[in-house]
Structure 1
Amino acid sequence: MYYNYKKFFSIVLMAVCDAKYTSTANLMQNTLPLPPPARISMESPQPLPHLFVGDAAFPLRTNLRTKRIFNYRLSRARRVIENSFGILTARWRILRTTIEYDPKNCEKVVLACIVLHNFIILNYHNRWYCPENYVDRQEPGNIVHCGEW
């Protein structure tokens, strides 16, 4: 938490999410139980490690790489985290504006929203919390429809 140029305290939230739009453990401490490297196709002789996609804000690590070949996949994968934040802020309106609490409690409020978001996504499968139109979807021919969150 820091005091920003607008004279407000700010929280910098860096998150990692999975394909279900749930946030996961800390990437920088390498605490995620990642699966071992695997072959991506029958033609590829060498197994590849599971990777995270990120931008220049992240240092290169064993499980975080940048290569030209990943540009398209990076774009697709980044839509997942954007959708995750979109769903989170659409459902937890307190995250859309200045949180009028003591700065010590703001982090707890944000973390509580994330925990509740994960719990609902993982336990309520009737899609009331995250309808299918909330997230980006891709049709044949690479036509992308943006989520309506």
Structure 2
Amino acid sequence: MFTHAARDESEQLYQAITKKSEIIKKIIPYAIFTDPEIASVGLTEKEAVDKDFAIKIGKQPFSRVARALAMGTSRGFVKIIANEKDDTILGAQIIGESAGELIHEFVLAMNNNIKFRDIAKSIHIHPTLAEGVNSAAGGVHKPAGT
């Protein structure tokens, strides 16, 4: 359904046919290049609840991210869905400027079992849109008073 997924799947198929590796299920993000952009990976909040996960949500509106305000593009948010039990990231959704670029931090995290709290502990450059990712996890870039 997505060009990026098809490229990866064709490489996996080639490797499997030539017995160089086995096929591995991948975490596949997507983006819709509207204005504002929409990007997602993994489960939505509703999907996680429907699968009976006890979840915690981290959310940061771009209206509270310095770079978004400076760019005049403060519509949207970063949202993280994590398993309450073990802090595993189940999914993430971003609506806003550069959502298709920002979602990759969550793809990397999910592929490598990086936890919700690990994103919170990671310092992100100021002022960048990526601070919204850290803030959504409750990290050091969380604006004062929130």
Give the TM-score of the pair, scaled to structure 1: 0.25
Between structure 1 and structure 2, the one with the greater Rg is 1
Q: Which has the higher contact order (CA 8 A, sep 6+)?
A: 2
Q: Which has the higher strand share?
A: 2
